Amino acid sequence: MESSDHRKMNIDELLRYAAKYGASDLHITAGNPPIIRVNGRLKKIPGPALTADDAEALVYSILNDEQKQAVRNKKEIDLSYTWGAASQRLVPEALTLEYTTPERVRARVNVFLDLNGIGAAFRIIPAKIRTLEELPAPPSVAELARSHSGLVLVTGPTGCGKSTTLASMIDLIDQEQAVRIITIEDPIEYIFRPRNCLISQREIDTHSRSFASALRACLREDPDVILVGEMRDLETISLALTAAETGHLVLSTLHTKSVAETVDRVIDVFPADQQEYVRQIFASVIRGIISQTLLPRKDGRGRVAAMEVLIATPAIKNLIREAKVH
């Protein structure tokens, strides 16, 4: 990695630097120089530690006045950022650009406060949506994307590529079908360029108040496929199950590490007197669970998704109904 003092870089130049070296993340925190993550490992960008004022100046340079006030009130916010323009202020040209290159970078951003002041974590979004074959994903993932109804969950720890897998599945649907797709995200990451489908993308706090309110509204808008960025709470999970039960294909994520943990997470969020009923509904609508992580490539050139796919066969559904998933 070439020597390049970060003191000469603004936030856009830091992001381009990160993209140039294939970084997945850029971290801005007071008390440290800017740090990038390459192939799962942290690397400092040459130069001295950022002061609290340095970090604040870098982070605030990408925020509008409303977002700055939100940081003061909420202490943390999520947003998308494209080199030169925050995604909340999407302009027509933003819909036609290839995003992450050394010249142009798109990222998902979490802005936060800690003991040392303001900071931000940038998750860099790849230049284009990769096909399922390019991930690579087993053929069963494509078959799940071709489902006409039900619930498909992509699970795994933070940073394991769940959003990338979902984007590849949506891209496959757009290639092969002509359906109405609504995505609900926090924030919007990949921007889809429809070929055959009618695609509407919504961002929490920008276009909708919450996952639950957006999901409730989209059920009245003739969707065929609904992508819910994350099933975070009882209301969102309940609405997602209802959507799947009423003939929609619902794609979503959970931060779980196994099939058994995934089933328990969905059911345990409900009150005890509702759990048996929810278990029966979940068993009837689940189409498959994709559990994934990222592993380093043997040649050292990046990381690759490792997936375990459970197809909800009649036998599997019966095991879920009978609470025999462990």
Whole-prediction pTM: 0.84
What is the tens place of the pLDDT at every residue in 8-51? 789 999 998 898 888 999 999 999 999 999 988 999 999 999 99
Strand pairing of 117-124 and 225-228? unpaired
Question: Is 201 buried (19+), middle (13-18) or exposed (0-12) by CB count in 10 A?
Answer: buried
Torsion of Cα atoms, 235 then 311 then 255 then 308, to 10°: -170
DSSP single-letter state for residue 274: G
Burial class (CB in 10 A: 0-12, 13-18, 19+), 115: exposed
Give the containing element (helix H, strand E) for 30. none
What does the radius of gyration of the chain's CA atoms come to, in whole angstroms?
A: 20
Report the distance separating Cα 281 and Cα 51, nearest Å: 53
- In what helix (H) or strand (E) does residue 174 lie, and over which residues does it extend? helix 162-176
**What pLDDT does 294 receive?**
87
Q: Domains for the chain: give ranges and CATH numbers.
A: 6-124 (3.30.450.90), 139-321 (3.40.50.300)
Residue 102's pLDDT band, with cuts at 50, 70 and 90, is: very low
Instruction: Decide the pairing of beta strands 249-254 and 225-228.
Output: parallel
Q: What is the DSSP letter of 209?
A: S
Q: Contact, 39 vs 302, CB < 8 A?
A: yes
pLDDT band at 159 (very low <50, low <70, confident <90, very high): confident
Instruction: Give residue-wise pLDDT tens across range 250-298.
Output: 999 999 998 889 999 999 999 999 999 999 999 999 999 999 998 888 8
State pLDDT tens for residues 56-84: 999 999 999 999 999 999 999 999 898 74
pLDDT digits (tens, 9 = 90+) for 194-224: 999 999 999 998 899 999 999 999 999 999 9
